[in-house]
Amino acid sequence: FIFASSIISILIAIMKKKIYDINILFSLGAKNKLIYYIFLWYSLIYIIFGIIFGTSIGLLASYYFDSIIQNFEEFLNIKIFPSNAYFINFIPVKIIYSDVLCIISLIFLLVITCSSYSIFKIIHKNSIKSILS
């Protein structure tokens, strides 16, 4: 959800900066559908790169979590899970790839839905302004 909301806020900021360009496209005779598809491609590019980088970093961090914790403990010279305080001295990590795929598809659908709504809202508001002026 945090990833999806950050992508949506980035896309809204991009669209607000591109309002001048949208007005130029309207004045050149571009239809709402063309502008909608242009910004949908923008969102798809951001989603794909975000999913690739976020998933790969998350999977690498969870796969090498034990060695990351050990290096962190050696660097700070402290024991994060001292054996006299805890029953276990590690965090069990198990990667379930079906859950990862489910989360990726849910984020993809959420961002596409929200970005489509925001694109439609900006285009509709902009087309009314360009008709009135």
Q: What is the pTM of this model?
A: 0.69
Output the CA torsion sign for 75, 76, 81, 84. Answer: positive
- The kind and range of the H/E element at 10 are helix 2-17
Tens-binned pLDDT, residue by residue, of the chain (133 aa): 676 677 677 777 777 777 777 778 778 888 888 888 888 888 788 888 888 998 999 899 988 988 888 888 889 888 877 767 666 666 778 889 999 999 899 888 888 887 787 777 777 776 555 544 4
| Distance, CA of 24 to CA of 21 (rounded, Å) | 5
| Distance, CA of 131 to CA of 128 (rounded, Å) | 5
From the centroid of its chain, how far is CA 2? 8
- The kind and range of the H/E element at 120 are helix 97-132
